[in-house]
Amino acid sequence: MRKPNIAILGATGVVGREITKIIDELKIDFNEIKFLSSAKSAGSEIEFQGKKYIVEEAKPESFDGVNIVLASAGGSTSQKFAPEIVKRGGVLIDNSSAFRMDKDVPLVIAYVNDEDLKNHKGIIANPNCSTSQLMLVLKPLNDIVKIKRLIVSTYQAVSGAGLAAINELTANTKAVLAGEEFENKCFKKPIAFNVIPQIDVFCDNGYTKEEMKVANETKKILHLAADTPISCTAARVPVYNGHSEAVDIEFEENISPEEVREILKNSFGVTVIDNPDNYEYPTTRDASGVNPVFVGRIRKNLAFENGISLWCVADNLRIGAALNTVRLCRKVIEMDLY
C-alpha cells in the first residue's frame, strides 16, 4: 500500500491536537507529516512519536506534495485553502461546516456510509459533532426498521466551541465562586452553572444553525428522504467534554427496546450501558477520552406509535471530530482514494 504525505491544518487547536494523538493511536502509516496553523502559533513545537516538529504557518505552497490534509481550522480557512489543496492533487478531510451540504462533497461517518467516499472530488466533509455520534446509533437501527420521524435534544460540552470556550468555563466558574464580575466572550450568556439554549446563530425558522445541521446532515448521511421530519433542540451545558443527547425515534414498524438493545450491542463503535435498576446508564464522564458512543435508557417512547427513546453520550472531540477524521483518513488510504 502507498504511504501518503499528511498535513494537519489547525494542529494547535483542540481538535487538531486530538487528531495528532489519534493518528498515533490508529497507527496511520504515513510517509511524511507536517503541522500547520495560523501565524499566531507558527514556530511553536509539537512532539509526535518521539520527534519534535515546528508548526508552520499555512500558506498555499505548504500543500505542495501533500496527499491528505486533515483540517480543523474553521470554515473560512478551509474555504481559502481547499482549492489550493485540490489543485495540487491532495484530498482535504474537513471538519468545518463549509462544504458539508455541497452535493459534490461526501459527508461521511466511517463505518456508516463509507461507500460515499468513492464519489469525492478532492474534498470529504466530517459531520457536525452532534450528528456524528447519532449516526453510529441510528444507522444499524435504520438498516433493520426505517426511521419515520426523529426528535433530538442535545446537551453539548464547551470543548465543542474550542479552546477559548474551555478556558471561559474555568474562568467563569472561578469568578462565580469568588463572587466576582465576569464578562463572557465565547457565549451569549454566562456558561458557569447555567444551560444555554443557543448553539450557533438563529435561522429564519427559529431553529439555530447547529440544530438545522443535525437535521440536514442526518438526512444526507443516512440517505433519508428530504421530507423526513427531524427536529433538534441544542443546548450548551457547563461540561468540559462529552456531548449527551436525548433521542426520540419513530419507526415505520414496531421494534421493541430489547431488539434495539440487541442490535446496538452488536454494532460497530457503540457500547450499551443499560441497567437502570442498578443505576447503570452512560454519563459524559464515561465517554470523555474514549472512542465508543455509549447508549442507555432504551425504552418504549410513549408519545409515538412504534417509538423508541434513548440516551446517547460520546466524546465530541473524538467521534464528533478527530476520531472520525482519522478513521476517514484510514479509509481513504485503504480504499486507495488519494
Residues classed as catalytic:
129, 243
Helix (H) or strand (E) segment spanning residue 94: strand 91-94
Q: Is residue 221 a contact partner of residue 127, using CB atoms and an 8 Å limit?
A: yes
The residue among 138, 139, 195, 128 whose CA lies nearest residue 310 is 138
Q: Which residue is nearest to ligand NAP (CB)?
A: 13
Nearer to ligand NAP by Cβ, of 5 and 288: the residue is 288
**Restricting to residues 177-196, which ones interact with ligand NAP according to CB under 6 A?**
none
Alpha-carbon gap, residue 144 to 81, rounded angstroms: 41
Q: Which of 22, 85, 129, 221 binds ligand NAP (CB under 6 A)?
A: 129
Q: Which amino acid is at 20?
A: T
245/267 Cα distance (integer angstroms): 18
Cell 419513530, residue? Answer: 250
- Restricted to residues 219-248, the positions that interact with ligand NAP (CB under 6 A) are none
Total of residues contacting ligand NAP (CB under 6 A): 28
Near ligand NAP by CB under 6 A: residue from 5, 6, 7, 12: 12
As measured in angstroms, the least distance from the Cβ of 92 to ligand NAP is 13
Regarding 13 and contact with ligand NAP (CB under 6 A), the answer is yes
20 or 301: whose CB is closer to ligand NAP? 20
- Contact status: 287 vs ligand NAP (CB under 6 A): no
H helix or E strand, kind and range, residue 173: helix 163-178
User: How many other CB atoms are there within 10 angstroms of residue 193's CB atom?
Assistant: 10
Per CB under 6 A, 131 contacts ligand NAP: no
14 binds ligand NAP (CB under 6 A): yes
Site residues for ligand NAP, 48-77, by CB under 6 A, read 58, 72-75, 77
The one-character DSSP state at 69 is: E
Report the DSSP beta bridge partners of residue 57: 37
| Site pattern 23..52 for ligand NAP (x: CB under 6 A) | --------------xx-xx-----------
Our CB check for ligand NAP shows the closer of 292 and 307 to be: 292
Rounded CA separation 219/143 (Å): 14
- What's the one-letter identity of residue 321? A
Checking phi first, is residue 223 left (phi over 0); if not, alpha (psi -120 to 50) or beta?
A: left
| 323 near ligand NAP (CB under 6 A) | no
Residues that bind ligand NAP (CB under 6 A): 10-16, 37-38, 40-41, 58, 72-75, 77, 95-96, 129, 159-160, 162-163, 316-317, 320-321
